[in-house]
């Protein structure tokens, strides 16, 4: 399993907007553990071009995809991965991507919602 580098931005953002130092530290520990356990995939030139194409096509149809979700979805699409996220609505606007919803109750730790996680056919069958 892995995450997009954009998800690292989202996790770090959540860490620094904590209400107090104790909560920030708990979030920092969570983020560090997550980053040590997951592969972080960068936004390459190919991924960013794909994002521009899909964003343009969807805008022409009257749909807007939040930029971070667009890059996360295009990273997964480029790599041939599925997306596991409670936010299926935005990822469904990315053609040919496969997103799976999961029950988000209990999927929070220290106030941080889990980021979109990439899964592959191989990791799902394990």
* All domains in the chain, ordered by first residue: 2-125 (3.40.50.1010)
Length of the chain equals 126
Q: What is the pTM of this model?
A: 0.74
Cβ neighbours around 100 below 10 Å, total:
14
Rounded to whole angstroms, how far apart are CA atoms 7 and 69? 9
Strands 117-119 and 99-100: unpaired
* Per-residue model confidence as pLDDT tens digits over 59-78: 999 999 999 989 999 998 89
pLDDT for 118 equals 59
Task: Give which of 2, 9, 13 is closest to 76, Cα–Cα.
Answer: 2
Kind plus residue range of the DSSP H or E element containing 3: strand 2-4
- Residues (pLDDT < 50) of the chain are 98-114, 121-126
């Amino acid at each position: 399993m892995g995450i997009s580098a954009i998800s690292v931005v989202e996790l770090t953002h959540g860490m620094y907007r904590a209400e107090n130092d104790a909560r920030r530290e708990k979030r920092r520990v969570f983020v560090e553990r997550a980053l040590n356990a997951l592969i972080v995939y960068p936004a390459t030139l190919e991924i960013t071009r794909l994002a521009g194409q899909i964003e343009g096509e969807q805008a022409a149809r009257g749909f807007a995809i939040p930029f971070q979700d667009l890059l996360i979805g295009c990273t997964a699409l480029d790599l041939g991965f599925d997306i596991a996220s409670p936010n299926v609505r935005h990822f469904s606007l990315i053609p040919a991507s496969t997103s799976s919803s999961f029950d988000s109750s209990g999927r929070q730790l220290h106030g941080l919602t889990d980021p979109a996680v990439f899964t592959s056919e191989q990791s799902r069958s394990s």
